[in-house]
Structure 1
Amino acid sequence: MPADKTQQSSARPPSGNADYQWAAFDSEAYFQHYYGEPHPDDDRVIRCAVETIKGAPPAGAELDIVDVGTGPNLIPLFCALPRAARITAWEYAQSNVDWLKADLVRADMRPQWRHFWAVTRTAYGPDWDLPEDPIPALQAKATIRQGSIFDLPARRWDAATMFFCAESITERPDEFEAACATFARCVKQGGALIAAFLVRSAGYVVAERSFPVLSLSPDSIETVFAAHASGIKAEKIGIVEREIRSGYSGFIFLTGTAR
Protein backbone atom coordinates (compact mmCIF):
# COMPACT_ATOMS: atom_id res chain seq x y z
CA MET A 1 0.00 0.00 0.00
CA PRO A 2 1.28 3.51 -0.74
CA ALA A 3 0.39 4.87 2.70
CA ASP A 4 2.83 4.47 5.57
CA LYS A 5 1.20 2.65 8.49
CA THR A 6 4.13 2.70 10.91
CA GLN A 7 2.32 4.91 13.43
CA GLN A 8 -0.73 2.64 13.64
CA SER A 9 -0.94 0.16 16.43
CA SER A 10 0.02 -3.43 15.58
CA ALA A 11 -2.36 -4.66 18.29
CA ARG A 12 -5.50 -4.00 16.21
CA PRO A 13 -6.52 -3.60 12.58
CA PRO A 14 -6.79 -0.04 11.31
CA SER A 15 -10.13 1.63 11.97
CA GLY A 16 -12.33 2.67 9.08
CA ASN A 17 -14.37 5.78 8.50
CA ALA A 18 -17.55 4.18 9.83
CA ASP A 19 -15.90 3.40 13.18
CA TYR A 20 -15.89 7.05 14.29
CA GLN A 21 -18.67 9.18 15.78
CA TRP A 22 -18.84 11.93 13.18
CA ALA A 23 -22.31 12.91 14.34
CA ALA A 24 -20.75 13.90 17.68
CA PHE A 25 -17.97 16.02 16.15
CA ASP A 26 -17.59 19.22 18.19
CA SER A 27 -17.11 21.87 15.52
CA GLU A 28 -16.48 24.82 17.82
CA ALA A 29 -13.90 22.90 19.87
CA TYR A 30 -12.10 21.97 16.65
CA PHE A 31 -12.12 25.57 15.43
CA GLN A 32 -10.78 26.92 18.72
CA HIS A 33 -7.99 24.33 18.87
CA TYR A 34 -6.79 24.55 15.29
CA TYR A 35 -7.65 28.11 14.28
CA GLY A 36 -8.09 29.95 17.57
CA GLU A 37 -4.53 31.25 17.22
CA PRO A 38 -3.48 31.63 13.57
CA HIS A 39 -0.22 29.87 12.74
CA PRO A 40 2.31 30.89 10.04
CA ASP A 41 1.85 27.50 8.38
CA ASP A 42 -1.85 28.29 7.87
CA ASP A 43 -0.82 31.50 6.13
CA ARG A 44 1.60 29.51 3.96
CA VAL A 45 -1.13 27.09 2.91
CA ILE A 46 -3.31 30.05 1.91
CA ARG A 47 -0.54 31.55 -0.20
CA CYS A 48 0.11 28.21 -1.92
CA ALA A 49 -3.59 27.65 -2.60
CA VAL A 50 -4.14 31.17 -3.90
CA GLU A 51 -1.17 30.92 -6.25
CA THR A 52 -2.62 27.76 -7.79
CA ILE A 53 -6.20 29.03 -7.96
CA LYS A 54 -5.09 32.28 -9.63
CA GLY A 55 -3.58 30.24 -12.44
CA ALA A 56 -6.30 27.59 -12.67
CA PRO A 57 -7.72 27.06 -16.16
CA PRO A 58 -9.49 28.45 -18.01
CA ALA A 59 -7.51 31.66 -17.49
CA GLY A 60 -9.59 34.70 -16.63
CA ALA A 61 -12.86 32.80 -16.28
CA GLU A 62 -14.99 32.47 -13.19
CA LEU A 63 -14.91 28.90 -11.90
CA ASP A 64 -17.35 26.50 -10.32
CA ILE A 65 -15.27 25.31 -7.34
CA VAL A 66 -15.87 22.64 -4.70
CA ASP A 67 -14.13 22.32 -1.35
CA VAL A 68 -14.29 18.78 -0.01
CA GLY A 69 -14.45 18.07 3.73
CA THR A 70 -14.60 21.75 4.63
CA GLY A 71 -15.17 21.24 8.36
CA PRO A 72 -15.46 24.32 10.59
CA ASN A 73 -13.10 26.29 8.36
CA LEU A 74 -13.66 29.26 6.04
CA ILE A 75 -10.07 29.33 4.75
CA PRO A 76 -10.70 27.22 1.62
CA LEU A 77 -13.75 29.33 0.79
CA PHE A 78 -11.70 32.51 1.13
CA CYS A 79 -9.04 31.12 -1.21
CA ALA A 80 -11.63 30.18 -3.84
CA LEU A 81 -13.83 33.27 -3.60
CA PRO A 82 -12.05 35.70 -5.97
CA ARG A 83 -12.11 33.20 -8.87
CA ALA A 84 -15.45 31.60 -8.11
CA ALA A 85 -18.76 31.95 -9.86
CA ARG A 86 -20.02 29.39 -7.36
CA ILE A 87 -18.50 27.60 -4.37
CA THR A 88 -19.74 24.33 -2.92
CA ALA A 89 -18.61 23.31 0.57
CA TRP A 90 -19.05 19.52 0.55
CA GLU A 91 -19.10 18.41 4.19
CA TYR A 92 -20.22 15.18 5.84
CA ALA A 93 -20.73 15.94 9.56
CA GLN A 94 -24.05 17.65 10.29
CA SER A 95 -22.43 19.58 13.14
CA ASN A 96 -19.94 21.09 10.68
CA VAL A 97 -22.67 21.90 8.16
CA ASP A 98 -24.63 23.71 10.86
CA TRP A 99 -21.49 25.50 12.11
CA LEU A 100 -20.59 26.75 8.62
CA LYS A 101 -24.10 28.03 7.97
CA ALA A 102 -24.13 29.83 11.32
CA ASP A 103 -20.69 31.38 10.81
CA LEU A 104 -21.70 32.81 7.44
CA VAL A 105 -24.58 34.74 9.01
CA ARG A 106 -22.78 36.06 12.09
CA ALA A 107 -23.22 39.78 12.72
CA ASP A 108 -19.44 40.18 13.02
CA MET A 109 -16.63 38.22 11.40
CA ARG A 110 -14.40 36.37 13.84
CA PRO A 111 -10.96 37.97 14.29
CA GLN A 112 -9.32 34.77 13.04
CA TRP A 113 -11.22 35.04 9.77
CA ARG A 114 -10.27 38.69 9.47
CA HIS A 115 -6.63 37.60 9.75
CA PHE A 116 -6.93 34.80 7.19
CA TRP A 117 -8.89 36.96 4.76
CA ALA A 118 -6.17 39.64 5.01
CA VAL A 119 -3.60 36.97 4.11
CA THR A 120 -5.79 35.91 1.18
CA ARG A 121 -6.16 39.49 -0.11
CA THR A 122 -2.40 40.02 0.09
CA ALA A 123 -1.77 36.75 -1.74
CA TYR A 124 -4.09 37.78 -4.59
CA GLY A 125 -2.49 41.19 -4.78
CA PRO A 126 -3.83 44.70 -5.37
CA ASP A 127 -4.92 44.05 -8.97
CA TRP A 128 -7.84 41.98 -7.68
CA ASP A 129 -9.36 44.85 -5.64
CA LEU A 130 -10.94 42.51 -3.09
CA PRO A 131 -13.33 43.82 -0.40
CA GLU A 132 -12.36 44.14 3.24
CA ASP A 133 -15.30 41.95 4.23
CA PRO A 134 -15.71 38.75 2.15
CA ILE A 135 -18.82 37.47 3.92
CA PRO A 136 -21.48 39.12 1.68
CA ALA A 137 -19.82 37.63 -1.41
CA LEU A 138 -19.57 34.22 0.26
CA GLN A 139 -23.22 34.38 1.22
CA ALA A 140 -24.07 35.02 -2.42
CA LYS A 141 -21.79 32.40 -3.95
CA ALA A 142 -21.41 29.58 -1.41
CA THR A 143 -23.62 26.53 -0.94
CA ILE A 144 -23.09 24.27 2.07
CA ARG A 145 -23.85 20.72 0.95
CA GLN A 146 -23.96 17.71 3.28
CA GLY A 147 -22.37 14.71 1.63
CA SER A 148 -19.67 12.06 1.93
CA ILE A 149 -16.42 12.38 0.04
CA PHE A 150 -17.11 8.87 -1.28
CA ASP A 151 -20.32 10.15 -2.95
CA LEU A 152 -18.88 13.07 -4.91
CA PRO A 153 -20.36 13.25 -8.43
CA ALA A 154 -17.92 12.74 -11.29
CA ARG A 155 -16.69 15.57 -13.55
CA ARG A 156 -18.93 18.15 -11.91
CA TRP A 157 -16.63 21.09 -11.02
CA ASP A 158 -13.97 23.22 -12.72
CA ALA A 159 -11.59 23.01 -9.76
CA ALA A 160 -11.48 21.37 -6.34
CA THR A 161 -9.75 22.00 -3.04
CA MET A 162 -9.40 19.61 -0.11
CA PHE A 163 -7.67 20.69 3.09
CA PHE A 164 -6.92 17.91 5.63
CA CYS A 165 -9.83 15.63 4.80
CA ALA A 166 -8.97 12.31 3.11
CA GLU A 167 -6.22 11.40 5.59
CA SER A 168 -8.21 12.46 8.67
CA ILE A 169 -11.33 10.33 8.19
CA THR A 170 -9.81 6.84 8.34
CA GLU A 171 -6.79 4.74 9.29
CA ARG A 172 -7.30 2.45 6.29
CA PRO A 173 -5.12 3.06 3.22
CA ASP A 174 -7.77 1.63 0.89
CA GLU A 175 -10.35 4.16 2.14
CA PHE A 176 -7.82 6.98 1.80
CA GLU A 177 -7.11 5.94 -1.78
CA ALA A 178 -10.84 5.73 -2.55
CA ALA A 179 -11.41 9.20 -1.07
CA CYS A 180 -8.58 10.71 -3.12
CA ALA A 181 -9.90 9.03 -6.25
CA THR A 182 -13.40 10.45 -5.88
CA PHE A 183 -11.91 13.86 -5.08
CA ALA A 184 -9.75 13.81 -8.24
CA ARG A 185 -12.60 12.55 -10.42
CA CYS A 186 -15.09 15.20 -9.27
CA VAL A 187 -13.23 17.76 -11.41
CA LYS A 188 -13.62 18.08 -15.17
CA GLN A 189 -10.66 16.92 -17.23
CA GLY A 190 -8.01 19.62 -17.27
CA GLY A 191 -9.28 21.19 -14.03
CA ALA A 192 -7.12 22.11 -11.06
CA LEU A 193 -6.74 19.88 -8.01
CA ILE A 194 -5.47 21.54 -4.83
CA ALA A 195 -5.04 19.64 -1.56
CA ALA A 196 -3.21 19.78 1.75
CA PHE A 197 -2.48 16.77 3.96
CA LEU A 198 -1.37 16.41 7.57
CA VAL A 199 2.06 14.90 8.24
CA ARG A 200 3.44 12.81 11.12
CA SER A 201 0.18 12.38 12.95
CA ALA A 202 -1.18 9.44 14.91
CA GLY A 203 -4.66 10.98 15.18
CA TYR A 204 -6.32 13.96 16.80
CA VAL A 205 -8.67 14.62 19.70
CA VAL A 206 -11.67 16.95 19.60
CA ALA A 207 -13.55 17.54 22.86
CA GLU A 208 -12.11 14.31 24.32
CA ARG A 209 -13.16 12.21 21.30
CA SER A 210 -10.46 10.57 19.18
CA PHE A 211 -10.43 10.79 15.39
CA PRO A 212 -8.02 9.19 12.89
CA VAL A 213 -5.16 10.42 10.74
CA LEU A 214 -3.34 8.21 8.28
CA SER A 215 0.42 8.68 8.25
CA LEU A 216 1.61 9.88 4.83
CA SER A 217 4.69 10.92 2.88
CA PRO A 218 4.96 13.02 -0.30
CA ASP A 219 5.81 9.90 -2.30
CA SER A 220 2.78 8.00 -1.00
CA ILE A 221 0.44 10.88 -1.88
CA GLU A 222 1.90 11.27 -5.37
CA THR A 223 1.49 7.53 -5.92
CA VAL A 224 -2.18 7.68 -4.99
CA PHE A 225 -2.88 10.61 -7.33
CA ALA A 226 -0.78 9.34 -10.25
CA ALA A 227 -3.70 7.35 -11.65
CA HIS A 228 -6.02 10.35 -11.63
CA ALA A 229 -3.96 13.48 -12.34
CA SER A 230 -1.01 14.81 -14.28
CA GLY A 231 1.57 17.44 -13.39
CA ILE A 232 1.49 16.37 -9.75
CA LYS A 233 3.63 18.31 -7.29
CA ALA A 234 3.81 17.64 -3.56
CA GLU A 235 5.54 20.25 -1.38
CA LYS A 236 6.43 19.90 2.29
CA ILE A 237 5.36 22.80 4.51
CA GLY A 238 6.53 23.39 8.07
CA ILE A 239 7.46 19.76 8.81
CA VAL A 240 9.23 19.60 12.16
CA GLU A 241 10.14 16.92 14.67
CA ARG A 242 7.61 18.07 17.25
CA GLU A 243 3.87 18.60 16.94
CA ILE A 244 2.73 22.07 15.83
CA ARG A 245 -0.65 21.51 17.42
CA SER A 246 -2.15 18.33 18.78
CA GLY A 247 -2.38 15.91 15.90
CA TYR A 248 0.24 16.94 13.35
CA SER A 249 3.71 18.34 12.75
CA GLY A 250 3.44 19.74 9.23
CA PHE A 251 1.68 19.68 5.87
CA ILE A 252 2.10 18.34 2.38
CA PHE A 253 0.64 20.64 -0.27
CA LEU A 254 -0.36 18.93 -3.52
CA THR A 255 -1.35 20.34 -6.89
CA GLY A 256 -2.26 18.54 -10.10
CA THR A 257 -4.47 18.53 -13.17
CA ALA A 258 -7.41 16.14 -13.39
CA ARG A 259 -7.33 13.74 -16.29
Structure 2
Amino acid sequence: MDLGTPRTANDAARPPAPRLNSDAPWDAFDPQAYVDHNYGRLRSDDAKILEVVRKHFADHFRDTLDATGARLRGIDVGPGANLYPSMSMLPWCETITLYEHSAANVGYLRGQRESYDAHWDQFWDALCEQEVYARRVADPRAAFARAARIEQGNLFDLGERSERWQIGTMFFVAESLSTSEAEFLLAVERFMRVLEPGAPFAAAFMEGSLGYQVGDTLFPACSVTTADVRRSLSPFAEGEDVAITPVGMPGGALREGYEGMIVACGRRGPA
Protein backbone atom coordinates (compact mmCIF):
# COMPACT_ATOMS: atom_id res chain seq x y z
CA MET A 1 0.00 0.00 0.00
CA ASP A 2 1.22 3.50 -0.84
CA LEU A 3 1.18 5.51 2.37
CA GLY A 4 2.28 8.71 0.66
CA THR A 5 0.15 11.64 -0.40
CA PRO A 6 -3.12 10.37 -1.91
CA ARG A 7 -3.48 10.84 -5.67
CA THR A 8 -6.63 12.33 -7.16
CA ALA A 9 -8.11 11.81 -10.60
CA ASN A 10 -6.73 15.20 -11.60
CA ASP A 11 -3.25 14.14 -10.47
CA ALA A 12 -3.41 11.06 -12.69
CA ALA A 13 -4.35 13.16 -15.72
CA ARG A 14 -1.70 15.80 -15.07
CA PRO A 15 1.34 15.49 -17.40
CA PRO A 16 4.74 15.02 -15.77
CA ALA A 17 6.57 18.20 -14.84
CA PRO A 18 9.07 19.38 -17.45
CA ARG A 19 12.63 18.32 -16.79
CA LEU A 20 14.86 21.18 -17.85
CA ASN A 21 18.50 21.11 -18.84
CA SER A 22 19.50 22.53 -15.47
CA ASP A 23 17.70 19.65 -13.71
CA ALA A 24 19.81 16.86 -15.23
CA PRO A 25 23.03 15.57 -13.58
CA TRP A 26 25.32 16.14 -16.56
CA ASP A 27 28.53 15.68 -14.59
CA ALA A 28 27.31 12.16 -13.75
CA PHE A 29 27.25 11.27 -17.46
CA ASP A 30 29.29 8.09 -17.99
CA PRO A 31 31.23 8.64 -21.23
CA GLN A 32 32.76 5.18 -21.35
CA ALA A 33 29.39 3.46 -20.94
CA TYR A 34 28.00 5.74 -23.64
CA VAL A 35 30.83 5.02 -26.05
CA ASP A 36 30.73 1.28 -25.41
CA HIS A 37 27.01 1.14 -26.14
CA ASN A 38 26.87 3.58 -29.05
CA TYR A 39 30.22 3.65 -30.80
CA GLY A 40 32.10 0.43 -30.12
CA ARG A 41 31.23 -0.54 -33.68
CA LEU A 42 30.02 1.44 -36.68
CA ARG A 43 26.25 0.96 -36.83
CA SER A 44 24.36 1.28 -40.10
CA ASP A 45 22.49 4.38 -38.88
CA ASP A 46 25.73 6.21 -38.08
CA ALA A 47 27.16 5.03 -41.41
CA LYS A 48 24.20 6.64 -43.18
CA ILE A 49 24.67 9.88 -41.23
CA LEU A 50 28.36 9.93 -42.13
CA GLU A 51 27.49 9.37 -45.79
CA VAL A 52 25.12 12.35 -45.82
CA VAL A 53 27.44 14.66 -43.89
CA ARG A 54 30.66 13.86 -45.77
CA LYS A 55 28.92 14.54 -49.09
CA HIS A 56 27.41 17.79 -47.84
CA PHE A 57 30.75 19.18 -46.69
CA ALA A 58 32.67 17.86 -49.70
CA ASP A 59 30.15 19.38 -52.11
CA HIS A 60 30.19 22.71 -50.30
CA PHE A 61 33.97 23.04 -50.39
CA ARG A 62 34.63 21.45 -53.77
CA ASP A 63 35.26 24.76 -55.54
CA THR A 64 36.05 27.05 -52.61
CA LEU A 65 39.27 25.70 -51.04
CA ASP A 66 42.43 24.71 -52.85
CA ALA A 67 44.92 22.06 -51.75
CA THR A 68 47.10 24.41 -49.69
CA GLY A 69 45.65 23.17 -46.40
CA ALA A 70 42.93 23.59 -43.82
CA ARG A 71 42.25 27.13 -42.64
CA LEU A 72 38.77 27.35 -41.15
CA ARG A 73 37.48 27.57 -37.59
CA GLY A 74 35.00 24.79 -36.85
CA ILE A 75 32.77 24.10 -33.87
CA ASP A 76 31.06 20.97 -32.62
CA VAL A 77 28.41 21.96 -30.09
CA GLY A 78 27.79 19.32 -27.45
CA PRO A 79 30.02 16.49 -28.69
CA GLY A 80 29.52 14.48 -25.53
CA ALA A 81 31.72 11.44 -26.04
CA ASN A 82 31.27 11.35 -29.82
CA LEU A 83 34.27 12.23 -31.99
CA TYR A 84 32.88 11.65 -35.46
CA PRO A 85 31.12 15.03 -35.94
CA SER A 86 34.47 16.77 -35.35
CA MET A 87 36.22 14.26 -37.58
CA SER A 88 33.81 15.13 -40.38
CA MET A 89 35.20 18.70 -40.41
CA LEU A 90 38.91 17.84 -40.25
CA PRO A 91 39.83 18.32 -43.95
CA TRP A 92 38.91 22.00 -43.85
CA CYS A 93 39.67 23.15 -40.32
CA GLU A 94 42.71 24.69 -38.68
CA THR A 95 40.90 24.56 -35.33
CA ILE A 96 37.79 22.75 -34.11
CA THR A 97 36.21 23.86 -30.84
CA LEU A 98 34.55 20.93 -29.04
CA TYR A 99 32.16 22.85 -26.80
CA GLU A 100 30.87 20.51 -24.09
CA HIS A 101 28.89 21.02 -20.88
CA SER A 102 29.53 17.82 -18.90
CA ALA A 103 32.78 17.73 -16.91
CA ALA A 104 32.88 13.95 -17.36
CA ASN A 105 32.65 14.27 -21.13
CA VAL A 106 35.23 17.05 -21.19
CA GLY A 107 37.59 14.67 -19.42
CA TYR A 108 36.90 11.97 -22.00
CA LEU A 109 37.51 14.36 -24.91
CA ARG A 110 40.78 15.59 -23.44
CA GLY A 111 41.89 11.99 -23.03
CA GLN A 112 41.14 11.30 -26.70
CA ARG A 113 42.76 14.41 -28.15
CA GLU A 114 46.38 13.30 -28.46
CA SER A 115 45.61 9.82 -29.84
CA TYR A 116 42.02 8.68 -30.02
CA ASP A 117 40.98 5.07 -29.43
CA ALA A 118 41.20 2.53 -32.25
CA HIS A 119 37.44 2.01 -32.60
CA TRP A 120 37.13 5.53 -34.03
CA ASP A 121 39.16 4.36 -37.06
CA GLN A 122 36.08 2.73 -38.57
CA PHE A 123 34.29 6.08 -38.50
CA TRP A 124 37.22 7.80 -40.21
CA ASP A 125 37.33 5.01 -42.82
CA ALA A 126 33.64 5.66 -43.55
CA LEU A 127 34.36 9.36 -44.06
CA CYS A 128 37.20 8.45 -46.43
CA GLU A 129 34.70 6.94 -48.84
CA GLN A 130 34.55 10.60 -49.92
CA GLU A 131 38.04 10.88 -51.38
CA VAL A 132 38.73 14.40 -50.13
CA TYR A 133 39.08 13.11 -46.57
CA ALA A 134 42.01 10.82 -47.31
CA ARG A 135 43.50 13.32 -49.77
CA ARG A 136 43.53 16.27 -47.37
CA VAL A 137 44.21 14.41 -44.11
CA ALA A 138 47.13 12.00 -44.27
CA ASP A 139 47.17 11.32 -40.51
CA PRO A 140 43.76 11.85 -38.87
CA ARG A 141 45.05 11.32 -35.31
CA ALA A 142 47.71 13.99 -35.74
CA ALA A 143 45.22 16.30 -37.45
CA PHE A 144 42.68 15.87 -34.64
CA ALA A 145 45.35 16.49 -32.00
CA ARG A 146 46.40 19.72 -33.74
CA ALA A 147 42.90 21.01 -34.41
CA ALA A 148 40.88 20.05 -31.33
CA ARG A 149 40.21 22.75 -28.75
CA ILE A 150 38.25 21.26 -25.83
CA GLU A 151 36.16 23.88 -24.04
CA GLN A 152 33.68 23.40 -21.23
CA GLY A 153 30.53 25.49 -21.39
CA ASN A 154 26.74 25.51 -21.55
CA LEU A 155 25.39 25.93 -25.08
CA PHE A 156 22.76 28.35 -23.80
CA ASP A 157 25.65 30.70 -22.97
CA LEU A 158 26.80 30.77 -26.59
CA GLY A 159 24.54 33.76 -27.16
CA GLU A 160 27.00 35.81 -25.10
CA ARG A 161 29.96 34.90 -27.30
CA SER A 162 31.32 37.25 -29.94
CA GLU A 163 33.18 34.51 -31.87
CA ARG A 164 31.75 33.13 -35.07
CA TRP A 165 32.71 29.85 -36.68
CA GLN A 166 32.90 28.97 -40.38
CA ILE A 167 31.64 25.37 -40.23
CA GLY A 168 29.67 23.59 -37.52
CA THR A 169 28.08 20.40 -36.27
CA MET A 170 25.63 19.58 -33.47
CA PHE A 171 24.71 15.89 -33.10
CA PHE A 172 22.05 14.51 -30.75
CA VAL A 173 22.10 17.57 -28.50
CA ALA A 174 19.18 19.99 -28.86
CA GLU A 175 16.51 17.29 -28.38
CA SER A 176 18.54 15.39 -25.77
CA LEU A 177 19.05 18.01 -23.07
CA SER A 178 15.56 18.49 -21.58
CA THR A 179 11.89 17.69 -22.11
CA SER A 180 11.19 21.32 -23.06
CA GLU A 181 10.31 22.27 -26.61
CA ALA A 182 11.32 25.86 -25.82
CA GLU A 183 14.80 24.68 -24.77
CA PHE A 184 15.04 22.51 -27.91
CA LEU A 185 14.31 25.54 -30.10
CA LEU A 186 16.68 27.77 -28.12
CA ALA A 187 19.48 25.21 -28.38
CA VAL A 188 19.14 25.11 -32.18
CA GLU A 189 19.08 28.90 -32.32
CA ARG A 190 22.22 29.19 -30.18
CA PHE A 191 24.04 26.77 -32.47
CA MET A 192 23.00 28.50 -35.66
CA ARG A 193 23.76 32.01 -34.42
CA VAL A 194 27.44 31.23 -33.74
CA LEU A 195 27.99 30.33 -37.41
CA GLU A 196 29.15 32.87 -39.95
CA PRO A 197 26.81 33.62 -42.87
CA GLY A 198 27.30 30.95 -45.52
CA ALA A 199 28.87 28.45 -43.12
CA PRO A 200 27.91 24.84 -43.86
CA PHE A 201 26.39 22.93 -40.97
CA ALA A 202 25.22 19.43 -40.13
CA ALA A 203 22.95 18.52 -37.23
CA ALA A 204 21.57 15.16 -36.12
CA PHE A 205 18.58 14.36 -33.93
CA MET A 206 16.91 11.41 -32.24
CA GLU A 207 13.34 11.25 -33.53
CA GLY A 208 10.55 10.73 -31.01
CA SER A 209 12.94 10.29 -28.09
CA LEU A 210 11.37 9.83 -24.65
CA GLY A 211 14.65 10.03 -22.72
CA TYR A 212 17.67 7.79 -22.43
CA GLN A 213 19.83 6.00 -19.91
CA VAL A 214 23.62 6.20 -19.73
CA GLY A 215 25.05 3.77 -17.21
CA ASP A 216 22.75 4.05 -14.21
CA THR A 217 21.53 7.58 -14.90
CA LEU A 218 18.43 8.70 -16.80
CA PHE A 219 18.61 11.81 -18.96
CA PRO A 220 15.72 13.81 -20.43
CA ALA A 221 14.73 14.30 -24.07
CA CYS A 222 12.23 16.26 -26.12
CA SER A 223 10.29 14.24 -28.69
CA VAL A 224 10.80 15.82 -32.13
CA THR A 225 9.80 14.99 -35.70
CA THR A 226 11.29 15.87 -39.08
CA ALA A 227 8.83 18.77 -39.24
CA ASP A 228 10.08 20.06 -35.88
CA VAL A 229 13.69 19.84 -37.05
CA ARG A 230 12.92 21.77 -40.24
CA ARG A 231 10.94 24.38 -38.31
CA SER A 232 13.81 24.91 -35.86
CA LEU A 233 16.56 25.27 -38.48
CA SER A 234 14.87 26.99 -41.44
CA PRO A 235 14.71 30.53 -39.98
CA PHE A 236 18.52 30.55 -39.72
CA ALA A 237 19.41 28.70 -42.94
CA GLU A 238 20.37 30.24 -46.27
CA GLY A 239 17.16 30.66 -48.23
CA GLU A 240 15.44 28.70 -45.45
CA ASP A 241 16.77 25.65 -47.30
CA VAL A 242 17.58 22.64 -45.10
CA ALA A 243 18.10 19.13 -46.48
CA ILE A 244 16.40 16.72 -44.06
CA THR A 245 17.25 13.01 -44.26
CA PRO A 246 15.25 10.60 -42.09
CA VAL A 247 17.63 7.80 -41.15
CA GLY A 248 15.23 5.58 -39.24
CA MET A 249 16.64 2.41 -37.65
CA PRO A 250 18.29 0.54 -40.52
CA GLY A 251 20.20 -1.79 -38.20
CA GLY A 252 17.52 -2.10 -35.53
CA ALA A 253 16.96 0.05 -32.46
CA LEU A 254 19.94 1.41 -30.56
CA ARG A 255 17.83 1.51 -27.41
CA GLU A 256 14.21 1.71 -26.33
CA GLY A 257 12.20 4.90 -26.48
CA TYR A 258 12.85 6.53 -29.85
CA GLU A 259 11.60 6.24 -33.44
CA GLY A 260 14.72 6.78 -35.53
CA MET A 261 17.39 9.32 -36.37
CA ILE A 262 17.34 12.47 -38.48
CA VAL A 263 20.22 14.33 -40.12
CA ALA A 264 19.87 17.90 -41.39
CA CYS A 265 22.34 19.81 -43.56
CA GLY A 266 22.44 23.32 -44.93
CA ARG A 267 24.23 26.67 -44.87
CA ARG A 268 23.85 29.52 -42.42
CA GLY A 269 21.80 32.39 -43.80
CA PRO A 270 22.51 36.10 -43.42
CA ALA A 271 22.98 37.11 -39.78
Identify whether the pair has TM-score above 0.5, normalized to the shorter chain.
yes
- Structure 1 residues 196 and 10, CA, compared in 2 at 3 Å: closer, same or farther? farther
Task: Tell me the distance in 2 between the aligned counterparts of 1:10 and 1:30.
Answer: 33
Deviation at 1:137, TM superposition (A): 1.0
Query: Structure 1 vs Structure 2: percent identity of aligned residues?
Result: 31
Secondary structure of 2:199 counterpart = strand
Gapped runs of 5+ residues in structure 2? 1-12
| Change over 3 Å in CA distance of 1:139–1:193 after alignment to 2 | same
1-structure distance, mates of 2:228, 2:190? 17
Residue correspondence of structure 1 range 7-22 to structure 2 within 5 A: 11-22=15-26
Which residue type is aligned with residue 103 of structure 1? Q
List per-residue Cα deviations over 1:146-165 (Å, max 9, x = no partner): 11111223560011101101
Q: Tell me, yes or no, if structure 1 residue 169 matches structure 2 residue 174.
A: no
Q: Which amino acid aligns with 1:111?
A: A
CA RMSD of aligned residues (A): 2.2
The Cα of 1:104 is off from its aligned counterpart by 2.0
Deviations 1:69-92 (A, max 9, x none): 001111012111011121111111
Q: CA contact under 8 A between 1:238 and 1:249: conserved in structure 2?
A: yes
1:141 corresponds, among 123, 139, 147, to 147
Amino acid at match of 1:198: M
> How many angstroms does 1:239 deviate by?
4.1
Deviation at 1:187, TM superposition (A): 0.4
CA distance in 1, matches of 2:140, 2:257: 30
| 1:234–1:252 Cα contact (<8 Å) kept | yes
Name the amino acid aligned to 2:38.
Answer: Y
**Post-superposition shift, 1:193?**
2.0
> Tell me, which stretches of 5 or more residues in structure 1 are unaligned?
1-8
**With structure 1 as the length reference, what TM-score do the two structures score?**
0.88
Which one of the candidate residues 252, 255, 270 is aligned to 1:245? 255
TM-score for both structures, normalised by structure 2: 0.84
Q: Is the 8 A contact 1:121 1:130 kept in 2?
A: no
Tell me the CA shift for residue 55 of structure 1.
2.9
Q: What is the CA–CA distance in structure 1 between the aligned matches of 2:50 and 2:180, rounded to whole Å? A: 28
Match of 2:244 among 234, 237, 244: 234
Q: For 1:90, which of 99, 104, 128 is the aligned residue?
A: 99
Residue pairs, 1:96-115, within 5 angstroms: 96-106=105-115, 109-115=116-122
> Size of the alignment, in residue pairs?
248
Q: Secondary structure at the match of 2:198?
A: strand
Distance in structure 1 (CA, Å) of the matches to 2:156 and 2:133: 38
